DNA sequence: TTGTATGCGTTATCAG
DNA sequence: CTGATAACGCATACAA
């Protein structure tokens, strides 16, 4: 009376592999083999058909959790970003999802909202999920304690067989894709100097933000070498986001320094800064030149077009995924070089 | 000889709950209860301490897959978007991750790259993962076959206990958050008409894209009522993305119609169109006015500032999550109204 | 090639 | 309040 219904999936209860096997008149093992003919496809054609047919009829959906248990591994990739709404991160996420997809992995997204503490928490969650690998995206802070906690969390994760990679400074004991921020910023500085600029200001991001520091450092060092050092008071710290750029520009203008060109350590900050300048009545680029870093897609539609350092964020996402999956003998560190792109915002003078 | 090591997690092998129980000198059941004191916290304080201590010592990490098996449900939320690199989707994703996070759910992100076929595939994947709920974000196409396939996939998913919600047209048999595109576009049209505009063009997106159609329809209907109908040749179809807006604007200019203001059915298209206009030598907004839809964050930094219809995408993400989680007696349909925001791109004339 | 029997790590049921 | 023990759904070593 209870086991007569065999062809209907039933209300709520999903068909199991046993159901499929019974429906097909084969054993559980055969059904299992037929459905994912893993390495060795050792099931007779007609049986395979029967099983596949039964599975289709019952609308069978393999339980990934059960498979994870039996196989001892999952097909999940964890992706941790600071802010998925920020174009820098969402573009990298696009690269990661693309690569993960072709590798047959599901991406679990964790958004820390710029809270470093939550990174550790998410690593724990992904550890619980037994994610096959984890990619942590975003510049590190110069905060030994926070970094240490993160390092330990990742170490524990890797010790248990997980593979991790990051986009940012290679200081966490995991493989990393790192942008040559210093070199690219120095190149940008030289290019601007070559355009005739001599009086610079830098919207430098957070004091302890390593990516910001690298960009500031490379930029200022190059200018110092060229004999056009950036005055200390012309380096304005602020958050690494759009509003941070805006704030910093307001502060810079308040200081009434004699500046020709402003370098914001990332594009969204540069855009916020340009808006601040306009709000103050400046005409761009006539009254002030601007340069950013990243070359986010949105730059295609701003005016004047923004000079920046181009990095291929989609590709960075792909590379990070490759590292995290250990494709071949993946190197420990992939260094990405940026390309200086001079545009209307920094006309020759 | 093999079971003497008890205090070390071991190289690779993660500590299991049994390990914790043994280390704490209690039974598996007690350890389980102590560690997640579910509804009824019925374990003696001292035992609980012993267990928690053992867990910490062994660096125990509960296996979410095993829990999923035993509990019969997961803490996973599936999120399907067309393009995570598009600000519209990434902003909604921010809202979803935020809400999911406070609900204690992990978000599995699926990026279809605008391929409708893949939506069905991802639903299958999420079904396999036994995701507790699925949120599908993005306007539907007027394609009965595709919609039908999707509808069936979602129906099957829900029949097995999953909860689904979508952001877009409520045509899939699941709860939905739908923007009142027609109403908002009509309001925008009236506002522009009130500004003195009489000759309109519409960069209308794909012919069969429902969101595009609703925005086109609402806009044109309102203008027709006002006695300023949009000429058929002034409605240019194109993809629903930035480049689509650019292409459509090029085509519009090629037609040399007498147009005062261009309405692009979303902001990224409007931005692409403005760039195309500039490339053709137009000065904005003097030579041509523009309006978009969505009010993406990036608009804060474009010039002239763009008139648009503001919708709170982060909130839409939160709402969709609420629907998907069935918070309280969630309604079947949440209609979001947009707010017309007149900016510099459409000066009075 | 196919079938049987075990184990994966937890939760939950049912006795003590 | 605590402890055995039976599921949960699947993969696989082993036997036939």
CA dihedral B105, B111, B117, B121 (to 10 degrees): -40
Query: B93: how many CB neighbours lie within 10 A of its CB?
Result: 27
Q: A41: burial class by Cβ within 10 Å (0-12, 13-18, 19+)?
A: exposed
Query: B331: how many CB neighbours lie within 10 A of its CB?
Result: 11
Q: What is the pLDDT of residue A67?
A: 97
Nearest Cα residue in chain B from A273: B301
Q: B213: burial class by Cβ within 10 Å (0-12, 13-18, 19+)?
A: buried
Q: Is 90 exceeded by the pLDDT of residue A7? A: no
A197 and A277 belong to one structural domain: yes
The answer to whether A84 contacts B94, with C-beta atoms less than 8 Å apart, is: yes
Average pLDDT score over residue span B76-100: 98
**Position B108 confidence tier, pLDDT thresholds 50, 70, 90:** very high
pLDDT digits (tens, 9 = 90+) for B129-142: 999 999 999 999 99
**Position A120 confidence tier, pLDDT thresholds 50, 70, 90:** very high
Rounded percentage of chain B residues whose pLDDT exceeds 70:
95
CA-to-CA distance for B32 and B26, rounded, in angstroms? 10
Sequence-ordered alpha helix ranges (H) in chain B? 17-24, 28-36, 45-58, 64-71, 87-102, 116-128, 144-159, 181-194, 210-225, 242-254, 267-279, 313-325
**Position A37 confidence tier, pLDDT thresholds 50, 70, 90:** low
pLDDT digits (tens, 9 = 90+) for B191-232: 999 999 999 999 999 999 999 999 999 999 999 999 999 999
Helices and strands counted in chain B (H then E): 12, 12
Please check whether residue A280 lies inside any domain of the structure: yes
B120 and B146 belong to one structural domain: yes
**Position A3 confidence tier, pLDDT thresholds 50, 70, 90:** very low
A42 and A111 belong to one structural domain: no
Specify the number of domains making up chain B: 3
Please check whether residue A10 lies inside any domain of the structure: no
Q: What is the pLDDT of residue B171?
A: 86
Q: Cα angle vertex A188, ends A185, A190, to 5°?
A: 115
Of A127, A271, A301, the CB nearest to B271: A301
Average pLDDT score over residue span A122-148: 96
Q: Which residue is nearest to nucleotide D5 (CA to C1')?
A: B29
A187 and A263 belong to one structural domain: yes
Mind telling me how many Å the CA of A91 is from chain B's nearest CA?
5
Please check whether residue A4 lies inside any domain of the structure: no
Average pLDDT value over all residues in chain A: 93
The answer to whether A87 contacts B87, with C-beta atoms less than 8 Å apart, is: yes
Please check whether residue B8 lies inside any domain of the structure: no
Nearest Cα residue in chain B from A317: B85
Rounded percentage of chain A residues whose pLDDT exceeds 70:
95
Rounded percentage of chain B residues whose pLDDT exceeds 90:
89
Residues 6+ apart with CB under 8 A from A291: A188, A192, A261, A262, A263, A264, A270, A306, A307, A308, A345, A346
- Displacement of CA B335 from its chain's centroid (Å): 15
CB B275 within 8 A of CB B311: no
For every residue of B298-321, DSSP letters joined together read GGGG-SSPPBEEE--HHHHHHHHH
Of A101, A129, A303, the CB nearest to B278: A303
The H or E element containing residue A191 is helix A181-194
SS (H, E, C) A246-306: HHHHHHHHHCCCCCCEEEECCHHHHHHHHHHHHHCCCCCCCCCEEECCECCHHHHHCCCCC
Q: Is 90 exceeded by the pLDDT of residue A2? A: no
Distance from the first to the final alpha carbon of chain B: 90
**Position B44 confidence tier, pLDDT thresholds 50, 70, 90:** confident
- A314 in contact with B, Cβ within 8 Å: yes
**CA of A76: how far to CAs of A135, A323, B254, in Å?**
11, 15, 49
Q: What is the pLDDT of residue B4?
A: 32
| Strand C close to B59 by CB, under 7 A | no
* Tokens 């159901």 -> residue: A19
Rounded percentage of chain A residues whose pLDDT exceeds 90:
90
**CA of B330: how far to CAs of B162, B165, B320, in Å?**
15, 11, 10
**Position B13 confidence tier, pLDDT thresholds 50, 70, 90:** confident
Please check whether residue A257 lies inside any domain of the structure: yes
Average pLDDT value over all residues in chain B: 93
Q: What is the pLDDT of residue B329?
A: 79
A200 and A295 belong to one structural domain: yes
The answer to whether A63 contacts B91, with C-beta atoms less than 8 Å apart, is: no
A306 and A263 belong to one structural domain: yes
Please check whether residue A3 lies inside any domain of the structure: no
| Strand D close to A67 by CB, under 7 A | yes
pLDDT digits (tens, 9 = 90+) for B261-295: 999 999 999 999 999 999 999 999 999 999 999 99
CB A203 within 8 A of CB A236: yes
Q: Is 60 exceeded by the pLDDT of residue B112? A: yes
CA-to-CA distance for A168 and B111, rounded, in angstroms? 24
Which strands, in side-by-side order, build the sheet including A200-205?
A235-237, A200-205, A261-264, A289-291
Q: What is the pLDDT of residue A328?
A: 66
Helix axes B45-58, B17-24, angle to 10 degrees: 120
A196 and A53 belong to one structural domain: no
Q: What is the pLDDT of residue B42?
A: 78
Average pLDDT score over residue span B147-154: 95
Q: What is the pLDDT of residue B11?
A: 52
B224 and B263 belong to one structural domain: yes
- B138 in contact with A, Cβ within 8 Å: no
- B68 in contact with A, Cβ within 8 Å: yes
B185 and B285 belong to one structural domain: yes
- Displacement of CA B182 from its chain's centroid (Å): 20
- A75 in contact with B, Cβ within 8 Å: no
What is the radius of gyration, based on Cα positions, of chain A? 26
Parent domain of A221: 181-310
**Position B162 confidence tier, pLDDT thresholds 50, 70, 90:** very high
pLDDT digits (tens, 9 = 90+) for A290-344: 999 999 999 999 999 999 999 999 999 999 999 999 866 789 999 999 999 999 9
Query: B228: how many CB neighbours lie within 10 A of its CB?
Result: 15
Q: Is 50 exceeded by the pLDDT of residue A255? A: yes
CB B161 within 8 A of CB A12: yes
Q: A58: burial class by Cβ within 10 Å (0-12, 13-18, 19+)?
A: buried
| Strand D close to A59 by CB, under 7 A | no
The answer to whether A109 contacts B90, with C-beta atoms less than 8 Å apart, is: no
B306 and B318 belong to one structural domain: no
Q: Which two tokens stand for residue B269?
A: 């298209």
**Position B2 confidence tier, pLDDT thresholds 50, 70, 90:** very low
Q: Cα angle vertex A153, ends A151, A155, to 5°?
A: 65
CA-to-CA distance for A302 and B68, rounded, in angstroms? 48
Mind telling me how many Å the CA of A226 is from chain B's nearest CA?
33
Q: What is the pLDDT of residue B38?
A: 61
The answer to whether B302 contacts A300, with C-beta atoms less than 8 Å apart, is: no
List bases, strand C, within 7 Å of protein CB: 1-5, 7-13
B216 and B284 belong to one structural domain: yes
Interface of B with A in 88-127 (CB under 8 A): 90-91, 93-94, 97-98, 101, 106-111, 113, 124-127
Q: A124: domain CATH number? A: 3.40.50.2300
Which strands, in side-by-side order, build the sheet including B175-179?
A333-336, A175-179, A163-167, A133-137, A76-81, A106-111, B106-111, B76-81, B133-137, B163-167, B175-179, B333-336
Q: What is the pLDDT of residue A329?
A: 79
Which 3 state secondary structure label does DSSP give B50? Answer: helix
A40 and A156 belong to one structural domain: no
Nearest Cα residue in chain A from B152: A59
CA-to-CA distance for A241 and A114, rounded, in angstroms? 10
Please check whether residue B147 lies inside any domain of the structure: yes
pLDDT digits (tens, 9 = 90+) for A38-89: 655 678 889 899 999 999 999 999 999 999 999 999 999 999 999 999 999 9
Please check whether residue B332 lies inside any domain of the structure: yes
CA-to-CA distance for B261 and B274, rounded, in angstroms? 11
**Position B172 confidence tier, pLDDT thresholds 50, 70, 90:** confident
pLDDT digits (tens, 9 = 90+) for A271-298: 999 999 999 999 999 999 999 999 999 9
Mutate to test the interface with A, among B14, B17, B106 (most CBs of A within 10 A): B106
């Amino acid at each position: 009376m209870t086991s007569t219904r065999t062809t209907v999936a039933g209300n709520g209860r999903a068909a199991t592999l046993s159901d499929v096997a019974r429906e097909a008149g084969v054993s559980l093992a055969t059904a299992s083999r037929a459905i994912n003919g893993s390495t060795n496809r050792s099931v007779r054609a007609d049986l395979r058909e029967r099983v596949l047919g039964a599975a289709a009829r019952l609308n069978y959906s393999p339980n990934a959790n059960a498979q994870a248990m039996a196989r001892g591994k999952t097909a999940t990739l964890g992706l941790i970003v600071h802010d998925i709404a920020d174009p820098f991160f969402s573009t990298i996420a696009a690269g990661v999802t693309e690569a993960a997809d072709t590798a047959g992995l599901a991406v679990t997204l964790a958004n820390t909202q710029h809270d470093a503490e939550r990174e550790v928490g998410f690593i724990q969650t992904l550890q619980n999920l037994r994610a096959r690998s984890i990619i942590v995206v975003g510049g590190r802070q110069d905060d030994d304690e926070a970094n240490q906690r993160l390092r330990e969390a990742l170490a524990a994760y890797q010790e248990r067989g997980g593979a991790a990679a990051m986009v940012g400074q290679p200081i966490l004991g995991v493989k990393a894709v790192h942008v040559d921020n210093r070199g690219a910023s120095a190149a940008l500085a030289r290019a601007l100097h070559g355009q005739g600029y001599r009086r610079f200001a830098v919207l430098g991001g957070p004091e302890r933000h390593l990516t910001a520091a690298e960009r500031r450092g490379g930029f200022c060092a190059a200018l110092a070498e060229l004999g056009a050092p950036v005055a200390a008071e012309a380096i304005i710290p602020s958050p690494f986001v759009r509003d941070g750029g805006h704030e910093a520009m307001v502060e810079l203008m308040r200081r009434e320094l004699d500046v020709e060109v402003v370098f914001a350590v990332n594009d969204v900050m540069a855009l916020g800064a340009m808006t601040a300048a306009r709000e103050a009545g400046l005409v761009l680029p006539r009254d002030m030149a601007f340069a950013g870093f990243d070359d986010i897609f949105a730059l295609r539609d701003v005016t004047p077009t923004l000079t920046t350092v181009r990095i291929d964020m989609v590709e960075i996402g792909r590379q990070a995924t490759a590292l995290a999956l250990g494709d071949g003998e993946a190197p420990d560190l992939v260094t990405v070089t940026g390309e200086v792109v001079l545009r209307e915002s920094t006309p020759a003078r």
